Amino acid sequence: MSTDEQREAYFNKMLSMSDDELNVMAQISYIPEVHWPIFRAVVRRQDCDFMQKLKGFDDQLETGDVVLMTGTSFKSKALAKSQIPFYFKAKSSHVALVHADFICIDAMPDPGVSNRIITDVLQDVEDNWRVIRFNKITNQHREAMQQRFAFYIEQPYKISSRKKPGKDFSYCSELARKVYQECKVDGSHIPKGHHVIKPCDFDRIADQGKDWTDITEKVRPYIAFVQEYEAIHKMISKAFIDGLKLNRARYEDRIEMIRKIRALEKKGCISSEKANECVKQIHEVEKKLHYTFWDFSRT
């Protein structure tokens, strides 16, 4: 089931809840009590100030937008400065991408590749963060990107000096490059796979790249809106993020099923012909699904 269908099912289930039940859900979701009426209206798809404000923005974040930032920690600042020999205006230590709406995706040391909302991404960063947009991205590109972002979920984080893109790992700037190249977004000036990719390469693109636009000031009011209603946006994002996690979990279940089949084959409990047929059927199911994942080839 796609995440759109899961999100629809999630909200349909809540439609039948009473005010008291929805208030309890808002409370356990850490939504401030003053925003409980908004929460109920959003769940019931009723018009409210929140929805009116959402319609009033001239520009919002879009799939494929690139967020550049430097953390406030000593390590982040040192990383930004260490890139100056490669680009004299280097100032970014981290790169994130917009997956959908206000939900971003990036590669971090602890979770690896994962989703976070924009306000979480911009926590504990310097004030000089910026958002850039490649003007030649089409809706077809965005659809392909959303699938590719999902493809890399839970890939381990690793920084490597290898020039070729990592098949089994990602780091922040490399994740951005892989998605742009694999979705065939031409003319972006993102360094090709024969160069080690760094956050400062995106600083250079932001400063000099043709067909890239700095949209920071255009989207700043929208990001402030997400911050104002952060708990509600986290609730809205839950169905999307949990849906991808569920797809990933079901995929891992299929991997485990293949392992068990091969174990039975090795023990002589089933024939190789039967084992191969079962594995083939699982692979055929996998090919028809909306989402596939980075370690699919291992099965």
> How many structural domains compose the chain?
3
Question: In degrees, to the nearest 5, what angle opens at C-alpha 52 toward C-alphas 50 and 57?
Answer: 100
Average pLDDT (101-105) is: 95
Whether 105 and 25 map to the same domain: the answer is no
Give the C-alpha distances (Å, rounded to integers) separating 152 from 23, 65, 113, 116: 36, 17, 7, 14
Whether 125 and 201 map to the same domain: the answer is yes
Whether 82 and 25 map to the same domain: the answer is no
Q: How far apart are CA 47 and CA 59, in angstroms?
A: 21
Is 172 within a domain?
Answer: yes
Is 165 within a domain?
Answer: yes
What pTM, to 2 d.p., does this model score? Answer: 0.84
Max mean pLDDT among 42-46, 109-113, 117-121, 209-213 falls in 117-121
Is 201 within a domain?
Answer: yes
Q: For residue 99, which phi and psi values (nearest 5 degrees)?
A: -80, -55
Say which residues have a Cβ less than 8 Å from residue 11's Cβ, sequence separation at least 6. 43, 45, 239
How many beta carbons lie within 10 A of that of residue 99, not counting itself? 28
Judge contact between 116 and 106, C-beta under 8 A: yes
Is 205 within a domain?
Answer: yes
**Position of tokens 């485990």?**
256
Q: How far apart are CA 226 and CA 34, in angstroms?
A: 16
Is 232 within a domain?
Answer: no
Digit-coded pLDDT (tens) for 153-187:
999 998 877 767 778 899 999 999 999 999 999 99
CATH of the domain at 103: 3.90.1720
What residue numbers bound the domain in which 22 lies? 3-57
Q: Please indicate whether residue 50 or residue 299 has the higher confidence score (pLDDT).
A: 50
Whether 200 and 285 map to the same domain: the answer is no
pLDDT of residue 297: 52
Whether 197 and 81 map to the same domain: the answer is yes
Is 262 within a domain?
Answer: yes
> Which residue among 19, 37, 57 closes a domain?
57
